[in-house]
C-alpha cells in the first residue's frame, strides 16, 4: 500500500502561505491546521460541527469528542487541541460569524451544499491546495506529518498511537516516516 508523502516543514509553511491567497482563505487554513496539527482524517474534519469545538459559552474546548459516526473505525474518540490550534479555530470563527451561527452549524462550511463538506470533496480540496504549490500529496499527508513529527520529538509510540486513534501499534509505526537523515542522526546518538 502506497503511503501519502510526508511534507517537509518548508512545504507546510508554503502551503499555509498559499492558502492566504485562496478564495476561502480562512476555511482552507483551518482545514490544513486540523490535518497537520491535530492529525484529523478528511472524514473527521468534514463532519465537525461548531459545537464539537466550542462550548455553550463560546469558549474553544481543550478536547473534541469524535462520535462513532464521525470516525473511520466507527469508534468514538477524543482529540486534544493545542493552544495554537485553539487560537486558529477562534480566529476562523471570528472571521466567519455570518455562516457559523449555531453550535450545530458545520465547522468547515461548504457554500455549495450550505452545510458540511463530504469527505470526498474535502479530499479534492486538499489535492487542489497541494497542486497550487506543485506538490503531489493527499489528504492523509497532514496526518502522516503529525505522527512523524511527534515521533521526531521523542514522543512514545504508544502515546502517538492514542493520539492517532489507531487500534494497532503496527499501523502507527507504518505512518512514521524514516529518512536517511534520521538514520544518520540515530547512529550519531550512540557514537563514543
Domains of the chain (ranges, CATH numbers): 9-142 (1.10.443.10)
pLDDT over 80 (residue 68)? yes
**Residue 192: predicted pLDDT:** 57
Cβ contact 9:66 at 8 Å = no
Which is higher by pLDDT, 26 or 176? 26
Q: Flag whether pLDDT at 81 surpasses 90.
A: yes
The reported pLDDT for the residue numbered 3 is 79
- Does the model's pTM come out above 0.85? yes
Q: Cell triple for residue 192? A: 563514543
Q: Is the pLDDT of residue 97 over 70?
A: no
With CA atoms as reference, report the closest residue to 128 among 36, 15, 14.
15
CA dihedral 153, 73, 87, 36 (to 10 degrees): 50
Residue 19 pLDDT > 80: yes
Task: Indicate whether 101 pLDDT > 70.
Answer: no
Residue 85 has pLDDT above 60, yes or no: yes
Nearest to 21 by CA among 126, 133, 138, 114: 133
Alpha carbon of residue 69 to chain centroid: 18
Q: What is the pLDDT of residue 10?
A: 92
Mean pLDDT over 152-180 rounds to 86
Contact 72, 181 (CB under 8 A): no
> What is the average pLDDT across 119-146?
92
- Average pLDDT of the residues of the chain: 88
Helices (H), ranges, the chain: 9-19, 25-36, 42-47, 50-53, 83-95, 119-132, 141-152, 157-164, 169-175, 180-189
Task: Determine the average pLDDT of the residues in 15-19.
Answer: 94
Amino acid at each position: 500500500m502506497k503511503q501519502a508523502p510526508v511534507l517537509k516543514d518548508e512545504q507546510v509553511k508554503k502551503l499555509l502561505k498559499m492558502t492566504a491567497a485562496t478564495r476561502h482563505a480562512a476555511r482552507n487554513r483551518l482545514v490544513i491546521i486540523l490535518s497537520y496539527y491535530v492529525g484529523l482524517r478528511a472524514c473527521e474534519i468534514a463532519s465537525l460541527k461548531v459545537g464539537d469545538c466550542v462550548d455553550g459559552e463560546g469558549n474553544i474546548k481543550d478536547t473534541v469528542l469524535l462520535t462513532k459516526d464521525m470516525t473511520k473505525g466507527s469508534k468514538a474518540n477524543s482529540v486534544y487541541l493545542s493552544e495554537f490550534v485553539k487560537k486558529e479555530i477562534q480566529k476562523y470563527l471570528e472571521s466567519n460569524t455570518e455562516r457559523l451561527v449555531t453550535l450545530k452549524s458545520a465547522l468547515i462550511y461548504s457554500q455549495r451544499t450550505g452545510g458540511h463538506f463530504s469527505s470526498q470533496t474535502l479530499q479534492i480540496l486538499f489535492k487542489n491546495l497541494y497542486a497550487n504549490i506543485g506538490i503531489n500529496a493527499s489528504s492523509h499527508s497532514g496526518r502522516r506529518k503529525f505522527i512523524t513529527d511527534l515521533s521526531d520529538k521523542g514522543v512514545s509510540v504508544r502515546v502517538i498511537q492514542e493520539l492517532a486513534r489507531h487500534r494497532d501499534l503496527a499501523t502507527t509505526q507504518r505512518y512514521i516516516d524514516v529518512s536517511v537523515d534520521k538514520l544518520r542522526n540515530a547512529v550519531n546518538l550512540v557514537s563514543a
